[in-house]
Amino acid sequence: MAVTTPLTPGVYIEEQSLLPPSVVGVATAVPAFIGYVAKALPTTPQVAEINSLPDFVALFGTTPPRPYKVKLDDGAPRLYRTVPGPAPAGGGAPTSTDELVPTSQRPPWLLWYSLDLYFRNGGGRCYVVAVGQATDGGALSKDALLAGIRELEKQDEPTLIVTPEASLLSTASFREVCEATLQHCGKMKDRFALLDVKEQGQPIDQSNEITTARGEFGSESLLYGAAYYPFLHTTLTELVQESSVTVELPAAGGSPATSQRLDELRASSTELYNKIKALLAEQRVTLPPSPAMAGVVVRVDRERGVWKAPANVGLQAVIAPVDLVTDDQQGLMNVDATTGKSINVIRSFAGRGTVVWGARTLAGNDNEWRYIPVRRLFITIEESVKKATSFAVFEPNDVSTWLKVKGMIESYLYNLWEQGALQGSKPENAFFVNVGLGKTMTAQDILNGIMLVEIGIAAVRPAEFIILRFSHRLAQA
């Protein structure tokens, strides 16, 4: 410490810092959602930090409601949607037909619903990357989603990337977005991708979807992402505006058939109005699993730690998975000798509800990076140590600096070991930190301005397969 030489007689105070620098852990679960919003944007992509669904609504609105038509079949209201048909061969406007709406809805825009599902599953502070305006009849753009991914390179804090609306793209565009997301995470090395298995069509063909899905994630940076199957029937209801619902009233008493908006029907026919409102309340939304998984990851990190697998956890606001997967089917998804890409399954168990039943990265055959909590723990430690050791840049590359760096990292890892993040009965079995001339560096390294620190970590791994071994035992006297 430099000593200041006083020039004027008097009493002077000098404060001396004796405490070593410390590593402060970075936030482990801060998702970034990429998608379309209801409000028009001055520029795109637009990034915003939010803490709740009302925050999102205040900034970006909800989601554009779809127009519906209600017909009275034998006095009972039925919900229809007008669908345009193919253009006539000779030209002219295409004809349209009215199709009966199923109870389970797959809305054309997913971001608002996805954030609702995320917060219901324990989600907290997150980022939203708005890439365009969602309008009734509008179309998704692969290029807009890719631009949103590139925009995230400017953001330091997000650690999870979620693009639920990518599942609505064509198969080729979906693959591009998935590959770009994984490559982004591999480039940044401080974030993890939560991906969906795209639905191939109706009815759901599980075997075809999984085979196709494995090819849609590419082959790069697989250790930085995980894929989940299947889509989820949720308790969320589709947003419907009464002014967008047209009710067709049949002819009665010589009067011709008429139509009214639902908001106009309230005063003239309260009973019918209430029946239609009850019908609309039954329109549940089906969503991809990644938003729910983002909420699960945030909740598990908050309650247990980043080293706990986000699995064997119940999902909230979910009625059931779209596909009920069996043990044999999941075995083929969990382990694949050909591609090595694991697909995590969300399953429904009697008495337990809907449960996350998989914790593998897409690099499912990789001994080092097979499990999600191992990859995410290393991301957290690497980022925390990187930020904490920035003080040593341009410091003297000598024993004093080495000891400071070594001490602060060891203290940080010791705290993680105490919390159960690292395995080993003693700290020296759980981690090591080496730095110094003759240990990690040569004289030439020091001449080149390099300070090399070696860190070894024994991360805990999830007990994926619990085997209970039973045998007969002969009675003994």
Taking only the tens place, the pLDDT of each residue in 377-415 is 999 999 999 999 999 999 999 999 999 999 999 999 999
**pLDDT number for residue 434:** 94
Q: How many domains are contained in the chain? A: 2
Q: Are residues 202 and 297 in the same domain?
A: yes
Higher pLDDT, 22 or 52: 52
User: Is 324 a member of any domain?
Assistant: yes
Residue pair 436/322 in contact (Cβ under 8 Å)? The answer is no
Instruction: Give a yes or no: residue 138 inside a domain.
Output: yes
Tell me: do 349 and 210 sit in the same domain.
yes
Amino acid symbol at 209: E
Residue 356 and residue 416 in one domain: no
Residue 169: its pLDDT value, please?
93
Let me know whether 227 and 369 are in one domain: yes
* Helices and strands: H and E segment counts in the chain: 13, 19
Average pLDDT over residues 3-9: 78
Please say which residue of 345, 374, 403 terminates a domain: 374
Based on the fold, state whether residues 369 and 423 are members of the same structural domain: no
Residue 365 and residue 409 in one domain? no
Beta-bridge partner residues of 248:
71, 259
- Position 417 scores a pLDDT of 95
Its pTM stands at 0.90
Quick one: 182 and 121 in the same domain? yes
**Does residue 44 belong to any structural domain of this protein?**
yes
Question: What's the mean pLDDT in 8-26?
Answer: 78
Examine residue 42 and say whether the peptide bond preceding it is cis (omega within 30 degrees of 0). Answer: no
* CATH code of residue 176: 3.40.50.11780
DSSP code of residue 257: P
Instruction: Examine residue 179 and state whether it is found in any structural domain, yes or no.
Output: yes
Whether residue 316 sits in one domain with residue 464: no
Last residue of a domain, one of 339, 374, 409: 374
- Residue 416 falls inside a structural domain: yes
Of the residues 320, 346, 374, which one is the last residue of a structural domain?
374
**H or E segment at 412?**
helix 399-419
Q: Does residue 179 sit in the same domain as residue 319? A: yes
**Which tokens hold the place of 177?**
């977005």
Do 164 and 199 touch, CB atoms closer than 8 A? no
Amino acid at 326: T
The residue among 105, 129, 145, 100 whose CA lies nearest residue 30 is 129
Neighbours of 280 (CB within 10 A): 20
Query: What is d(CA 210, CA 19) in angstroms, rounded to the nearest whole number?
Result: 54
Say whether pLDDT at 211 is over 60.
yes
- The predicted model gives 455-463 an average pLDDT of 92
Taking 90 as the threshold, does the pLDDT of residue 27 lie above it? no
Q: Is residue 184 part of a domain?
A: yes
- The fraction of the chain above a pLDDT of 70, given in percent, is 94
Q: What is the pLDDT of residues 263-300, one digit of tens each?
A: 888 888 888 899 999 988 888 999 999 999 999 999 99
User: From the CB of residue 134, how many other CB atoms can be counted at a distance below 10 Å?
Assistant: 24
**Dihedral sign of CA atoms 455, 460, 465, 466 in order:** positive
The pLDDT value given to residue 448: 94
Residue 379 lies in a domain: no
Residues 418-455: b if buried by 16+ CB within 10 A, e if exposed:
eeebbeeeeeeebbebebbeeebbeeeeeeeeebebeb
Same structural domain, 404 and 368: no
Domain that holds residue 212: 31-66+107-237+285-374
Tell me: do 343 and 425 sit in the same domain: no
Residues 344 and 474 in one domain: no
**Tens of pLDDT along 137-157?**
888 999 999 999 999 999 999
